[in-house]
Structure 1
Amino acid sequence: MIRWEIASILLNLDRLSSLLIPQRSSITMVRSRKESISACAARLFRKRGYQATSMRDIAEAESIKAASIYNHFKSKQEILSSLLLRMARLFTQGMQTVKTSGADPVGQLEQLIRLHVRLTIEHTDAIALIAGEWIHLEEPHLQEYRRMRDSYEAEFKEILNEGKQQGLLRDLATDIALFSMLSSLRWLYSWYSRNRDYPAEKLEEEMIATLLGGIKA
């Protein structure tokens, strides 16, 4: 009798927990919908511009009711900030991986070029927003984005200077080399959008040859 009562209690607790704890499948569906909305918004922000795109536009493109989108994002600004800050964090994490790789400055630059190419291929529309739509970020996200961007550029510049000091790179103006490399990498999305079937590994190698060929000693 006691065993039966204990079993009954445990069964009821299990049923209660199933009601209180979201099922993994439902969590996955919510996450997938949110990611889908983000990807859709990135495409529209890139095509029309952030200011010309409304939450209703995003909802229509995503084939959901306008009110439903607010279950995932509070505002259009939240979508933009989530897209740009995510990319900034990916570049920041990539830089830290490169800096601790043990490679010499040239090897680190090669890794950074591969990082840019890979992220451009995987997140083409979000990368495109870095070229201009970031100016629409509001505080405190604007400050956070600028901090990560400036830190990334400073570390990139440091690698270039180390390469010159070690005699691995030509004695060229570091600022010009930095500007040339980052401009080419940040605008790569424009070319790749029209050449999506181009092999990733080949693109990496050709970007490395193009960008490092003129500055290696």
Structure 2
Amino acid sequence: MPSKLDQGSARGRATTGEAKAAYLTRIREAALRQFAESGYDGTSMRDIGSLVGVHAGSLYVHIKSKEDLLYQIVGGIADSGEVALRQVEAADVGAVDKLRMLARIHLRWAIANPDAAKVFEREWMRLNGAQLAEVQDKRRQWADAVERIIQSGIDEGTFREMDVALAALAFRSVLNANYTCDGDPDVDGAALADEFVGFLFNGWVAPGNR
């Protein structure tokens, strides 16, 4: 049976771990805000430290580099998007409904998290080496899944024959036109998603489904 001293030590370690995690979250949030405002190249560790309230050198106790911060932010967003995408792909609905679901999820998130949306779309290519390759692979997986959904719509006769890769690119481009919303609380993400995909579907639907 653990002694009171052992129990106290365990609680102390847990508290310390929680404090470190909370502090790292503060650093990431500060970096995200600064990356969105000034861009990755225009952001210094001093800028991030100023937002956190510490000297830049103190940040390196918790992170490896500014690039590692960007990787943590972008990689985390990509992982969350992958989970949502798998849920959409597994849904027992047709291609149109799957794309509408995906658009709603993405736009609701982007409107609620404008800084994250900007950094994810604009700054990921500042990564290098293995980190860049990993993020590129995750983005490619997302695009491949959208292509599969569009192809299923063609196969089921809902969409006309078309260049699937180009259609997937158009879908992503339409979704990423959300920057004009920039966190506006009055914007309805679901309604906006339906409007956006409606523009695309008008050109995609097979003649017999018009």
Superposition TM-score tier, normalisation by shorter sequence? 0.7 to 0.9
* Pair 213,37 (structure 1): closer, same or farther in 2 beyond 3 Å: farther
Deviations 1:39-74, CA, capped at 9 Å, x for gaps: 221121122121221111101022233233223322
Letter of the 1:212 partner, please give it. Answer: F
Check if 1:52 corresponds to 2:42: yes
Instruction: State the aligned residue count.
Output: 206
Quote the offset at 1:21 in angstroms.
4.2
- The unaligned stretches of length 5 or more in structure 1 are 1-8
Contact 1:42 1:129 in 2 (8 A): yes
The residue aligned with 1:64 is 54
Check if 1:140 corresponds to 2:149: no
Check if 1:80 corresponds to 2:70: yes
TM-score, normalised on structure 1? 0.83
Quote the offset at 1:148 in angstroms.
1.1
* Pair 139,110 (structure 1): closer, same or farther in 2 beyond 3 Å: same
Distance 2:148 2:88 in 1: 13
Within the candidate set 164, 176, 180, 1:191 is matched to 180
Check if 1:200 corresponds to 2:189: yes
Contact 1:85 1:145 in 2 (8 A): yes
Contact 1:81 1:141 in 2 (8 A): yes
Quote the offset at 1:149 in angstroms.
0.9
Structure 1 stretch 51-60 or stretch 192-201: which is displaced more? Answer: 192-201
* Pair 28,206 (structure 1): closer, same or farther in 2 beyond 3 Å: farther
* Pair 68,126 (structure 1): closer, same or farther in 2 beyond 3 Å: same
Distance 1:192 1:33 in 2: 30
The residue aligned with 2:6 is 16
Contact 1:128 1:187 in 2 (8 A): no
Distance 2:194 2:28 in 1: 31
The residue aligned with 2:33 is 43
- The unaligned stretches of length 5 or more in structure 2 are none
Letter of the 2:5 partner, please give it. Answer: R
The residue aligned with 1:6 is none
* Pair 79,187 (structure 1): closer, same or farther in 2 beyond 3 Å: farther
Contact 1:118 1:200 in 2 (8 A): yes
TM-score, normalised on structure 2? 0.86
Quote the offset at 1:35 in angstroms.
1.9
Check if 1:169 corresponds to 2:159: yes
> 1:102-117 maps to which residues of 2 (within 5 A)?
102-117=92-107
Over alpha carbons, which structure has the higher Rg?
1
Distance 1:50 1:64 in 2: 20
Q: CA RMSD in A?
A: 2.3
Quote the offset at 1:120 in angstroms.
0.9
Distance 2:4 2:204 in 1: 65
Deviations 1:70-93, CA, capped at 9 Å, x for gaps: 233221111100011111111211
Quote the offset at 1:14 in angstroms.
1.8
* Pair 101,135 (structure 1): closer, same or farther in 2 beyond 3 Å: same
